[in-house]
């Protein structure tokens, strides 16, 4: 008994000492993180205002009508996408754009993905060779095109070798100077290609890549592959992700783009110059954060070769995709994202704080190291310490509550400001109840969700440090086509 109470006393002293030591730095870290996010949002807001004012004379009609603008190859890697692939391809073929082709790369699907395509588009095999501009792991099995010979659709079949390798095959098959990668379950706005190619059209010599915000589609009404009504999903897990996407992905990345240091373009929808992709060697099939890794490689390549270039972000909501609806899938996704973040940051560690790499090296990368990679460690350690402190009775309750109120209150304020910017610029969620639900989600995010994601991110990091083989899981989706509650279960990369 004496020993136990002595141990508890010692533990109290240790925990108390640690808490006294880290409380203020952690609070400062929290404040700095959110303030930087606020600065990025300010930059994003500035950019939105600029884009909004330009809209009236942007010349979208000319872009659509132009035969001189650059054409686009839309690459769709597909693995077991039988439920959505036909609708997706139909919607892609119907996109408003002067010159675009669709290249579906069937990555060895074990379901009816290819049969669905063959029936819907009357595909016939052709002895078309796929060039080897990029090295790929597995050879192409065959190439199919629609029997009419005119519809700009190419279906390339290959053995299963992963999403990145499939995209590389698609890049090889692409004939247009701009290449966009999208997930088969993404829904695009009819003018998506016009919006995303706009930076290339305005500054064709310097812009090498553009990214767009991908917004959660769960529960939205989709008819024939077209978004017809934006609705907020019912599960709180999805609602919280809506808040997250809005704050971190849309506004955060818009801010980085405005600052001239965008280093991450979502793999669900990114557009690149084909020649640049070939120069840098395409996507790395061994990377788990292949989208991040590709953009970093492009930055390094362009700066090393002293080329004037731009990587830009288009904030207009033109792409929608399903987000995880179960804790299991979300856990796997966040774990993979963080693992990808760590592995890419580590791979390009030589660029961080290196003046040669300008804003990317001096600002963006240090930010990602300090506030994206390390954040879950601090958040989790802080949570454990507070819990331990309460258990041991060494926490000043009023201080702890004020601490949490300030920290989470500030984070909620940042989310609300993100909502203000979205409401003033895009106002996609029109129903009052959706707005109320998003507000509530921004509060609920602090209770359990943040802590859980912090833990899952740490799991991903730890798995990488241990050299554990990355696992691609399965995702259960609703599919699209209508708003029926039927759940289409199919496996895809998560």
Partner 1 sequence: MNVEQVFPSVGVAIGLGCVSSLGVIVIAKIRRGLVRARSRALLAPYRGALITIASGEDEGGQAKVALGAAPPHIWSRLRPSVVAFLPKVRGVPAEELSALMRSHGEIDEARRMLTSRSAVGRARAAYLLGLVSDSDSVALVLPLLSDPAADVRMVAARALGTIGDPSAGSGILHALRTRRGQIGLPAWVAAEALLSMGVEIAPTLQIGLASDDPAVRSVCAVVAGHGTYISTAPQLRTLLATDSDRDVRAKAAVALGRVGGPDDAATLALHVGPSEKVVLRRTCATALGEVGHRESVEALTGLLGDCDRRLAELAADSLVRIGSEGIARLEEATTTEQGPRARAASGALELAALRGQLVVGSTGP
Residues 6+ apart with CB under 8 A from 245: 213, 214, 215, 216, 323
Question: Which of residues 201 and 315 has its CB atom nearest to partner 1 in the complex?
Answer: 201
Q: What single-letter DSSP state applies at residue 131?
A: P
Segment near partner 1 (CB under 8 A); pick from 110-118, 140-148, 312-320, 352-360 = 140-148
248, 449, 491, 227: CA torsion to nearest 10: -50
Examine residue 204 and tell whether it contacts partner 1 (CB under 8 A). Answer: yes
Segment near partner 1 (CB under 8 A); pick from 7-15, 79-87, 315-323, 399-407 = 399-407
- Classified as helix, coil or strand, 271 is strand
Examine residue 432 and tell whether it contacts partner 1 (CB under 8 A). Answer: yes
Count of residues of this chain found to bind partner 1 when the rule CB under 8 A is applied: 57
Examine residue 145 and tell whether it contacts partner 1 (CB under 8 A). Answer: yes
- Which is it for strands 123-126 and 140-146: parallel, antiparallel or unpaired? antiparallel
Give Cα separations from 22 to 276, 300, 353, 394 (angstroms).
46, 36, 25, 14
Per CB under 8 A, the list member of 9, 128, 384, 387 interacting with partner 1 is: 128
Per CB under 8 A, the list member of 12, 18, 36, 59 interacting with partner 1 is: 59
Integer Cα distance of 74 and 197 in angstroms: 12
Question: Which of residues 30 and 368 has its CB atom nearest to partner 1 in the complex?
Answer: 30
Residues 6+ apart with CB under 8 A from 315: 44, 47, 48, 51, 212, 213, 250, 254, 425, 426
Examine residue 439 and tell whether it contacts partner 1 (CB under 8 A). Answer: yes
Segment near partner 1 (CB under 8 A); pick from 87-95, 344-352, 417-425, 474-482 = 417-425
Per CB under 8 A, the list member of 5, 150, 355, 485 interacting with partner 1 is: 150
Write phi, then psi, for 210 (nearest 5 degrees): -135, 145
Question: Which of residues 288 and 395 has its CB atom nearest to partner 1 in the complex?
Answer: 395
**Helix, strand, coil % (nearest 5) of the chain?**
55, 15, 30
Residues 6+ apart with CB under 8 A from 105: 75, 76, 77, 78, 156, 158, 166, 167, 169, 170, 173
User: In the bound complex, what is the minimum distance in angstroms from residue 309's beta carbon to partner 1?
Assistant: 12
Segment near partner 1 (CB under 8 A); pick from 110-118, 223-231, 234-242, 421-429 = 421-429
Per CB under 8 A, the list member of 303, 435, 444, 494 interacting with partner 1 is: 435
Give Cα separations from 301 to 342, 343, 366, 392 (angstroms).
20, 18, 19, 54
Examine residue 305 and tell whether it contacts partner 1 (CB under 8 A). Answer: no
Examine residue 149 and tell whether it contacts partner 1 (CB under 8 A). Answer: yes
Segment near partner 1 (CB under 8 A); pick from 1-9, 65-73, 296-304, 356-364 = 65-73
Q: Which single residue is written with the structure tokens 């993979």?
A: 336
Q: Within 10 Å of residue 404's Cβ, how many Cβ atoms? A: 14
Per CB under 8 A, the list member of 9, 61, 115, 229 interacting with partner 1 is: 61
Residues 6+ apart with CB under 8 A from 13: none
User: In the bound complex, what is the minimum distance in angstroms from residue 440's beta carbon to partner 1?
Assistant: 12
Question: Which of residues 194 and 341 has its CB atom nearest to partner 1 in the complex?
Answer: 194
| Contact in structure between 453 and 415 (CB atoms under 8 Å) | no
Examine residue 410 and tell whether it contacts partner 1 (CB under 8 A). Answer: yes
Question: Which of residues 75 and 214 has its CB atom nearest to partner 1 in the complex?
Answer: 75
Per CB under 8 A, the list member of 406, 452, 487, 488 interacting with partner 1 is: 406
Per CB under 8 A, the list member of 6, 7, 9, 54 interacting with partner 1 is: 54
Per CB under 8 A, the list member of 6, 125, 350, 366 interacting with partner 1 is: 125
Segment near partner 1 (CB under 8 A); pick from 58-66, 79-87, 312-320, 353-361 = 58-66
Question: Which of residues 130 and 265 has its CB atom nearest to partner 1 in the complex?
Answer: 130
Question: Which of residues 55 and 234 has its CB atom nearest to partner 1 in the complex?
Answer: 55
Binding mask 85-124 for partner 1 (x = CB under 8 A): ---------------------------------------x
Integer Cα distance of 53 and 59 in angstroms: 13
SS3 letters across 185-232 = CCEECCCHHHHHHHHHHHCCCCEEEEEEEEEECCCCEEECCEEEECCC
332, 333, 336, 342: CA torsion to nearest 10: -130
Examine residue 405 and tell whether it contacts partner 1 (CB under 8 A). Answer: yes
**Where along the sequence are the contacts to partner 1 (CB under 8 A)?**
23-24, 27, 53-54, 56-57, 59, 61-62, 66-70, 124-133, 145-150, 175, 201-206, 399, 402-403, 405-406, 409-410, 412-413, 416-417, 419-420, 423-424, 427, 432, 435, 439
């Amino acid at each position: 008994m004496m020993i136990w109470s002595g141990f508890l006393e010692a533990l109290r002293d240790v925990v108390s000492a640690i808490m006294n030591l880290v409380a203020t730095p952690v609070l400062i870290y929290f404040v700095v993180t959110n303030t930087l996010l606020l600065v990025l949002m300010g930059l994003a807001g500035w950019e939105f205002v600029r884009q909004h004012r330009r809209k009236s004379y942007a010349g979208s009609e000319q872009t659509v009508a132009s035969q001189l603008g650059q054409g686009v190859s839309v690459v769709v890697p597909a693995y077991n996408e039988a439920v959505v692939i036909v609708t997706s391809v139909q919607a892609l073929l119907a996109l408003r754009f002067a010159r675009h082709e669709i290249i579906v790369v069937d990555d060895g699907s074990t379901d009816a993905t290819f049969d669905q395509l063959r029936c819907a588009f009357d595909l016939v095999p052709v002895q078309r060779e796929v060039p080897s501009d990029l090295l790929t792991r597995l050879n192409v099995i065959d190439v199919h095109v629609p029997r009419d010979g005119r519809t700009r659709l190419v279906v390339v079949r290959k053995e299963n070798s992963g999403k990145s390798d499939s995209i590389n095959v698609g890049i090889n098959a692409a004939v247009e100077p701009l290449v966009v990668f999208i997930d088969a379950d993404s829904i695009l706005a009819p003018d998506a290609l016009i919006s995303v190619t706009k930076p290339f059209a305005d500054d064709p010599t310097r812009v090498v890549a553009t990214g767009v915000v991908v917004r959660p589609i769960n529960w939205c009404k989709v008819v024939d592959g077209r978004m017809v009504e934006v609705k907020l999903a019912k599960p709180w897990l999805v609602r919280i992700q809506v808040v997250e996407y809005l704050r971190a992905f849309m506004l955060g990345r818009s801010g980085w783009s405005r600052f001239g240091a965008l280093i991450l373009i979502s793999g669900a929808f990114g557009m690149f110059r084909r020649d640049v992709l070939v120069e840098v060697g395409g996507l790395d099939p061994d990377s788990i954060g292949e989208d991040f890794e590709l953009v970093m490689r492009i930055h390094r390549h362009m700066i090393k070769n002293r080329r004037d270039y731009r990587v830009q972000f288009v904030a207009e909501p033109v792409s929608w995709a399903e987000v995880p609806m179960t804790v299991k899938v979300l856990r796997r996704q966040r774990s993979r994202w963080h693992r990808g973040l760590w592995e890419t940051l580590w791979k390009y560690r030589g660029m961080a704080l290196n003046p040669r790499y300008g804003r990317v090296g001096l600002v963006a990368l240090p930010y990602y190291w300090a506030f994206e990679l390390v954040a879950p460690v601090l958040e989790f350690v802080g949570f454990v310490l507070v819990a331990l402190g309460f258990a041991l009775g060494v926490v000043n309750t009023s201080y702890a509550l004020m601490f949490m109120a300030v920290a989470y209150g500030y984070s909620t304020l940042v989310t609300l400001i993100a909502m203000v910017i979205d409401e003033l610029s895009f106002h996609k969620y029109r129903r009052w109840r959706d707005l109320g639900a998003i507000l509530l989600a921004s509060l609920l995010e602090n209770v359990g969700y943040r802590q859980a994601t912090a833990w899952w991110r740490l799991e991903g990091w730890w798995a990488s440090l241990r050299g554990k083989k990355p696992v691609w899981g399965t995702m259960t989706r609703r599919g699209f086509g209508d708003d029926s509650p039927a759940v289409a279960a199919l496996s895809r990369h998560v």
